[in-house]
Chains A and B, each alone.
Chain A
Amino acid sequence: MAETKMVTLTIEGRQAVVPEGTSILEAAKTVGILIPHYCYHPGLPVAGSCRMCLVEVEKMPKLAPACATAVGEGQVVQMNTEKAREARASVLEFLLINHPLDCPICDKSGECELQDFTFAEGPAVSRLHEPKRFNPMEDFGGDVLYVTNRCILCTRCVRFMDAVAEEPVLNVSERGDRAVIGVYEGEGLTHAWASNVIDLCPVGALLSKDSLNKARAWELDRTASVCPGCSQGCNMMIESRDDVIARLRPRPNLEVNEYYMCDHGRLDYRWMNRPDRSEVPLVRDGGALQPAAWDDALAAAASLIGDREVHVLASPNLPNETLWLLRRLVDRAGGSATFRCATGDEAPLPGVEDLALRADRGANVHGALQLGFSRVDFDSPLAGVSSGAVLVVADDELADVKPEVLRAAASVLVIGTTTGVPHEVADVVLPVANFAEEEGTFTNLRGRVQRFLQSRGAPGLARPTWFVLSELLATMGEDTDYFLASEVFDGLAAAQPAFAGLSYDSLGLAGQQIAQTSLAGESA
């Protein structure tokens, strides 16, 4: 690889050293300076049209757009000279003359770049004596609503659909201040990744119909997480209000999903808020499941397993920590560790290398395979269960399986989040937290181990899956007195060669790669 030439320049008195060809705007970021901008987005082609990022560059006669001006050796850049500040304030004034003052009813309020920069340095009053331009709202199809009046024509959405989704269905229609974003006749934002235009929109012009009027930005709690929708492992932010998950949004990770997240992952969150939850440990007593204390339930589960063969059917959305402990349960007296995973059509985002909604609709398929689980046929997940074994159903609802099939096993231990089919035949039910209620790690299809954090509290007496498993194993005499997910992971990393060298801390929030291995049973 040719060595990249580095350029040294001064931005607002700070020295930045960046590769040749970097824009002033990106160079400024490296020294902690945000040059206000609207049309620029690091994932999109440069438009240079909002003119918000105009800065003063020594020896240049005119203000230069920081997003479209490359750094030069010895350049001196200033963004807070009177000329530059006036230009920015003026752009804000121009943007605001036709922008409605409806922040109180706008979904974007609180996370709006127009609001933020106006608050920081915009004009406090408007000199406009004329009525504002008015255009009606438009449904863009998919999950996207276009509130025309709020649009500042930054064209991020148009460029995303053109250059990243490569399905050019948006355009700029009309000219001058009559211009609006248009959708081509008969088309709509139905691309599998189209809803990213909502996040890209710097103002409240493109809104999600799904989260319309649901919550104000400042009421939401944000938790760094990883999307469980498929095996890609897009980094995301779970946004919840009063312990109810309201919205999922992408969290940038240049190694995995850049700035994006698909519509499938984005909209598949309602199950995290399900109210029909398994909240109390249950033990079958006299034909019926009776509530029990955790210790009693764990003891009942331990004696249920005893020294018998264990057959595990696990969800591919369980974290590595839990899967590893399930694996240890199987290894005690033999048996089998299996999982099943739903599949669907793969939907790539063409503009980003190796990014797609993957066919495997489970977050931890790679992790499960890495930990020695085998994949079973989705339609007959229990075909391999021998009649003498204890069946451990770990967070698979088995909604499509008849109770008789489950009765093939000698005993059934359910470690689950919801009530349902397995309860009809379960001998012991251990209630656990769902994905959003616990923390842990997933391994994506490229072998990247990524942490997700807990976003909401688990209901009732439900406990994290890895905690319940380590308690169960401890009850059975194993040395698994883990109290934190990090302890489980570090134990896993010490025991499993593929995870060698990783620690919970070193994973951080961007993840780390394990030895690249292609595993049988994984859809590409």
Chain B
Amino acid sequence: MGYPHPPHERETQVLSKHFGNPEARTLEGWKKLGGYEALRSALAMEPAGIVDIVKESGLRGRGGAGFPTGVKWSFMKPGDGRPHYLCCNADESEPGTFKDREIMRWTPHGLVEGVAIGAYAIGAETAYIYIRGEFTEPLLWMNRAVREAYDDGILGENAMGSGKRIDIVVHKGAGAYICGEETALMNSLEGRRGNPRIKPPFPAVAGLFGQPTTINNVETLTAVPHIIRNGAEWYKGFGRPDNPRSTGTKLFSVCGNVARPGNYEVALGFPFKDFLYDVCGGPPAGRSFKAIIPGGSSVPILTMEEAEGALMDYEGFVAAGTMLGSGGVICMDDQQSIPKQVARLARFYAHESCAQCTQCREGTGWVTRILERMLAGEGQSDDIDTLLELSEQMTGKTICVLSDSCATPIVSGIARFRSEFEALIPKSRSHVPVAAVAV
């Protein structure tokens, strides 16, 4: 179901099959729908066997980076005498993305099951689900699901009677976008300020509490029980045949100027044009699309020409000049000002920068002030060049990619809609002399 809309016939519902079905929220109901069978069979397998199946399925990280999940799991070395941890990243804060929220609201047991399988596969006895601070309702459902699972013996020191210990702790964040960055999330879990850590060491070597840690997105972990139950071949069957590197289904959160905003699940490789105009109903009546950000606010903006030719998978979006990202599709119609949208995104990143790295702390604020001054009619002739040069220096130079994410909409916005930015610079020679202040 393209929740909250009735499902579209061209959707492929795996994760979203029970969205809107209150029965799926309870343990009893979830079991009736076949829940926890995958966990039972997983617990009967060797952990390495589970990792192999996930590897074979081609499942890749759904949080944005798209790293192969099975490969990530194989970095963990069971039996090294150290505690291992699994973190589930439920700090879904990327503007335009709200898929994990629906997973947790409607199928909390699906996530619990995925987390439990993941924990077992990497040799972790404890898993943390770090939920975004603003997600009050998903938190309620997750807490309830975990409690039910404990009461039923699914979790705890003898998980499903297997003799294996699996504990899940649900942790509520305090409201910071940066805590969705994996190492910042770990700092936050440890009770520190949510600042990303310098890598290496990578989490698989020294993560949460300095121990080997794997961190996966909600959607990734929720897909795992389906893969265990139906097999890697079944999962690989979703996706376009000519691109074996993107397999399975993906939830897309659609928002902005679109007839039917909501969450839609399609097989990877789905034509983006059909998705926008058919599945999502196209632009609002009487309008036309102008630009699309297809993967959450951190990926490049596409013109409609680029978007309409794109295929919805990791490689397809890269070929179109953007990225799959988190799958947050932000639609902008002909009424929108691109500079205004870019300024709004820049303001978001300026607000959320953790303040560690110089380029990000100062750069995000500076580009925001330039963009907002331009929008206020005070544009200056050097503004566009300055924005591009600052963006260049904010890219690829910092501990995490928040700074890059702030630069991306600016660079892609100017590259594709330059005239709109130029229009904000008064034609006449400015009476304000360009400040040349000696430093």
Q: Which residues of A contact B (CB under 8 A)?
A: 46-52, 54, 62-63, 65, 68, 86-87, 90-91, 94-98, 101, 118, 122-130, 133, 152-153, 155, 171-172, 174-179
Contacts and interface: CB of A to CB of B under 8 A. Distances in A.
A123 B368 CA distance: 21
B143 interface: no
A118 B439 CA distance: 8
B435 A128 contact: yes
A295 to B, nearest CB: 62
B438 interface: yes
26 contacts: A48-B198, A49-B358, A49-B399, A50-B357, A52-B358, A90-B359, A90-B393, A91-B358, A94-B361, A94-B363, A94-B393, A95-B362, A101-B437, A101-B439, A123-B439, A126-B436, A127-B382, A127-B386, A128-B366, A128-B435, A129-B373, A130-B370, A153-B361, A175-B176, A176-B355, A178-B365
Instruction: Please provide the 8 A-B residue pairs with the shortest distance between their CB atoms, ordered closest to farther.
Output: A179-B355, A177-B365, A90-B393, A94-B362, A49-B356, A48-B198, A176-B353, A130-B369
A118 B398 CA distance: 20
Contacts of B382: 127
Nearest to B378: A129
Contacts of A178: 355, 365
B229 interface: no
Contacts of A95: 358, 362
Nearest to A155: B356
B352 interface: yes
B398 A51 contact: yes
Contact of A97 (B351, B357, B362): B362
B397 A54 contact: yes
Nearest to A119: B439
Contacts of A49: 198, 356-358, 399
A52 B350 CA distance: 20
Given A62-B396, A125-B436, A129-B380, 6 more contacts: A48-B399, A91-B359, A94-B366, A96-B439, A124-B438, A152-B358
A84 to B, nearest CB: 10
Residues of B in contact with A, size category = 35 or more
Contacts of A118: 439
A177 B361 contact: yes
B418 interface: no
A360 B380 CA distance: 66
Contacts of B5: none
A125 B361 contact: no
Interface in B367-398: 369-370, 373, 380, 382, 386, 390, 393, 396-398
A177 B439 contact: no
Contacts of B357: 49-51
A354 B424 CA distance: 64
A49 B366 CA distance: 18
* Most B Cβ at <10 Å: residue of A122, A124, A129: A129
A96 B355 CA distance: 15
B198 A46 contact: yes
A94 B369 CA distance: 13
Given A63-B397, A87-B393, A175 B353 contact: yes
Contacts of B434: 129
Contacts of A96: 439
B373 to A, nearest CB: 7
Given A63-B397, A176-B365, A125 B358 contact: no
A179 B373 contact: no
Given A49-B357, A176-B352, A126 B365 contact: no
A174 B198 CA distance: 20
B437 A125 contact: yes
Nearest to A63: B397
Contacts of A50: 357-358
A65 B198 contact: yes
A18 to B, nearest CB: 19
* Most A Cβ at <10 Å: residue of B354, B366, B399: B366
A179 B195 CA distance: 13
A101 B434 CA distance: 18
Contacts of A128: 366, 435, 437
Interface in B48-89: none
B164 interface: no
* Most A Cβ at <10 Å: residue of B357, B363, B396, B435: B357
A405 to B, nearest CB: 60
* Most B Cβ at <10 Å: residue of A62, A133, A155, A176: A176
B326 interface: no
B364 interface: yes
A128 B435 CA distance: 8
Contact of A62 (B353, B369, B397): B397
A187 B366 CA distance: 33
B55 to A, nearest CB: 26
Contacts of A52: 358
A124 B362 contact: no
Contact of B364 (A90, A153, A176): A176
A126 B437 CA distance: 6
Contacts of B390: 90
Nearest to B363: A94
B438 A51 contact: no
B193 interface: yes
A212 to B, nearest CB: 25
B399 A176 contact: no
A177 B435 contact: no
Nearest to A127: B386
Contact of B438 (A47, A68, A125): A125
Nearest to B382: A127
A501 B386 CA distance: 65
Given A68-B198, A98-B362, A124 B439 contact: yes
Contacts of A86: 393
Contacts of A101: 437-439
Contact of A174 (B355, B437, B439): B355
A510 B3 CA distance: 73
A130 B369 CA distance: 7
A153 B193 CA distance: 15
A177 B350 contact: yes
Contacts of A174: 355
Nearest to B379: A129
Nearest to A122: B439
Contacts of B358: 49-52, 91, 94-95, 152-153
Contacts of B176: 175
Interface string B413-436: 000000000000000000000111
A126 B435 CA distance: 8
B348 to A, nearest CB: 10
B356 to A, nearest CB: 4
Given A49-B357, A127-B386, A176-B351, A97 B366 contact: yes
A51 B386 contact: no
A152 B361 CA distance: 10
Interface string B215-228: 00000000000000
A86 B399 CA distance: 18
A49 B393 CA distance: 15
A222 to B, nearest CB: 28
* Most A Cβ at <10 Å: residue of B361, B390, B398: B361
B396 to A, nearest CB: 5
Given A87-B397, A130-B370, A51 B362 contact: no
B366 to A, nearest CB: 6
A18 B353 CA distance: 36
B397 A51 contact: yes
A105 to B, nearest CB: 16
A413 B178 CA distance: 73
A155 B356 CA distance: 9
A130 B373 contact: yes
A175 B439 contact: no
Contacts of A91: 358-359, 393
A54 B393 CA distance: 12
Contacts of B351: 175-176
A125 B178 CA distance: 33
